[in-house]
Amino acid sequence: MAEASSRKGGAVHPAGEPGKSEVAELLRTFQELRATTLELRAQNEALARARQALETERQRYQDLFDFAPDGYLVTDREGVIQQANCAAGDLLRVPRQELAGQPLASFVHGADRALLLEQMALLAGGDEPAAGIEVRLQPRQGAPFDAALKVAAAQNQEQPARLQWLIRDISERKRVESDQERLLAEVESQRDTVETLAHTLARDWNTLQAIMENTVTCLAYLDRDLHLQRFNLAFAQKWGTDESELLECSSFQMSPGRRNSEVLQEVCETGQAMSFRARPCARPGEEEAAVSHWDCTLAPVKDGTGKVQGLVLSLLEVTEEVKAVEVQTAAQEALHRQNEELVALTRELNAFAHTVAHDLKQPLTIVMGFADMLHEELNSALDDPQRRMLQGIKQGARRMSNIVEGLLLLASTRSSEIQPGPLDMGDVVREVRQNLAAVIEEAGAELVIPSTWPVCLGYGPWVESVWANYMTNAIKYGGRPPRVELGGSVLPGGYCRFWVRDNGQGLSPAEQARLFTSFTRLGQPRTLGHGLGLTIVRRIVERLGGEVGVESEPGQGCTFWFTLPT
């Protein structure tokens, strides 16, 4: 096999094998290629960053365009909308995506379209349009509104020529301008009013003169030195002298009281109006008149600099009114004393009733105890008349004991200090029913009681007494057998209403009117035999902030009710 050889740099290499210089050249070329690749990569990354920055900037300007407070539109030379921001869509009442392709002129009120087309023609001819135009825009929905339009041509070699439009709602500005024009017109029209005012002032002056001379109030004008300068007829008549004599008097001569003089001087010095009551007043040259009372008003008259030049004096005699007030005050004081005496008397009566009740309670307890003992031990030895007498003793003693308890409760409703709280009316009624169990069983009464009750404010022991009185009356004076219905409901205004309804004979309107009055007893004993029951009920409920009443018709039974706050 023949060997090929080559010479380079004095060296001989076998054919097909690169020399060292060629290898070095290849390595250098490779390194250059690698450096170029890294440089291109860096350039690509820089280009990508530049594109990202450009996109970010474009997006920022796009956001500024989209969310600008004013409307922005981009149209072609013929005025066809190519792009719109959000505000433009809101103004024209069309979603901005749907505005593209629509002529701007279609949103301009018919009378103003010529002005818009004129601006576009100026731009097409290369002329500068007006700084701005004002037209009426007609949105797709709603009424037309005033708008200011500005247009400029956008030159871009890569894109066809476009027009950029700024749209601003000027409805509020137009309204303000209209108000200004209206106000100017009003001011102009008020010139006639001002001219009329002089005539009105003259007429008012004459009117005031007539009033001054015919009023019962004494009016006068005093100068800076407090001398009378002018006065009305009532003033002259009150002092019973002629004009010349009065003009020689000063206010100190007419009202010599120290306080009166001090007030006059104070008004002159301070320039502040003042009202006060002055007395006495005497006629010039005479001794002081009988004591009289006057309501006096002093008003300063000032010049342009605010300096007091004189005083307007107004006097109105109120002697009779003052005397009437004195009489009324004396009567009120007497009434107050009587009220205090009545309070003391009531306190004494309550104490007396309390003492009497306690003094009666013990002997009555002894009488009832002995009567029960006699009934148990001697019942078989007694004949019928004797048994009836013994039963009468027991009933009378029990009735007297109930009266004593009623007197104690009545006295406590006046003197006791209680704190009302929320009541479980179901528990209250169950307690009363248990206490009246013997009475209910003896009468064979049917009680209808609801399962739920409204919650109200009250004092448990007192409210038990109210239910006990109502239920006892219903059982005692209802039908035979008695049917007694209880209930309660919530009323508007923060109150609950409770009632006891029976099946008795009912009451006439005249009898109803006499119920709940102190110690009233009807021909039909409807208020308990001792006349205290319903009086106690009314006293208790009123102390708790409620009311009592009855509803009835003859033959239809009665409904006794009371209210309590919630």
What does the pLDDT look like over 413-449, one tens digit per residue? 665 677 889 999 999 999 999 989 988 998 999 999 9
Q: Which residue, of 317, 341, 372, is where some domain finishes?
A: 317
Give whole-number Cα distances, 553 to 117, 346, 470, 512, 550, in Å: 91, 37, 17, 10, 10
Mean pLDDT of 344-349: 71
What CATH number is given to the structural domain containing 483?
3.30.565.10
Q: What integer best gives the mean pLDDT of the chain?
A: 79
8 within a domain of the structure (yes/no): no
Q: Are residues 524 and 387 both part of a single domain?
A: no
Is residue 53 one of the residues assigned to a domain? Answer: no
The larger pLDDT score, comparing residue 328 to residue 340, is at: 328
- CATH code (residue 313): 3.30.450.20
Of the listed ranges 82-91, 297-306, 514-523, the least confidently predicted one is 514-523
Domain with residue 338: its CATH number is: 1.10.287
What's the mean pLDDT in 329-335? 89
| Boundary of a domain, candidates 180, 208, 236 | 208
Domain of residue 305 covers 215-317
455 lies in the same domain as 364: no
Sign of the dihedral through C-alpha 229, 231, 237, 243: positive
Q: What is the pLDDT of residue 547?
A: 94
Weakest mean pLDDT among 93-102, 103-112, 353-362, 492-501: 353-362
Q: Does residue 432 share a domain with residue 385? A: no
Q: What residue ranges in 288-371 does DSSP mark as E strands? A: 294-302, 308-317
The residue ranking higher by pLDDT, 186 or 483, is: 483
Statement: residue 141 has pLDDT above 60: yes
- Residue ending a domain, choose from 317, 343, 375: 317
With a cut of 50, say whether residue 6 has pLDDT above it: no
Q: How far apart are CA 137 and CA 141, in angstroms?
A: 11
Residue 38 placed within a domain: no
pLDDT at 10 over 50: no
Q: Are residues 467 and 544 in the same domain?
A: yes
Residue 399, in any domain of the structure: yes
The pLDDT of residue 305: 84
Instruction: Tell me the C-alpha distance between 234 and 294, whole Å.
Output: 14
Domain count, the chain: 5
Does residue 452 sit in helix, strand or coil? coil
Q: What is the pTM assigned to this prediction?
A: 0.40
Tell me: do 137 and 223 sit in the same domain. no
Residues 266 and 386 in one domain: no
The pLDDT value given to residue 44: 85
3-state secondary structure 24-60: HHHHHHHHHHHHHHHHHHHHHHHHHHHHHHHHHHHHH
At 546-565, the pLDDT tens digits run 999 999 988 889 999 999 99
> Who has greater pLDDT, 397 or 257?
397
Residue 2: band (very low, low, confident or very high) from pLDDT cuts 50, 70, 90? very low
User: Does residue 226 fall inside a structural domain?
Assistant: yes
HSE-CB of 251 using CA atoms within 13 angstroms: 32
Q: Which residues pair with 136 in a beta bridge?
A: 146
> pLDDT category, 224, cuts 50, 70, 90?
confident
The lowest-confidence range among 133-137, 165-169, 411-415, 443-447 is 411-415
* Within-domain flag for 338: yes
Q: What share of the chain is helix, strand, coil (3-state, %, to 5)?
A: 55, 20, 25
- Do 241 and 142 fall into the same domain? no
Does 324 lie in the same domain as 228? Answer: no
The confidence band for 259, taking pLDDT boundaries of 50, 70 and 90, is: low
Confirm whether 397 is domain-assigned.
yes
**Is the pLDDT score of 76 beyond 80?**
yes
- Given a cut of 50, whether residue 369 has pLDDT beyond it is yes
Average pLDDT over residues 285-291: 53
If asked whether residues 122 and 248 sit together in one domain, one would say: no
531 pLDDT exceeds 60? no
Do 302 and 351 sit in the same domain of this protein?
no
Residues 149 and 74 in one domain: yes
Asked whether residue 11 is assigned to any structural domain, the reply reads: no
**Residue 411 sits in the same domain as residue 429:** no
- pLDDT recorded at residue 546: 94
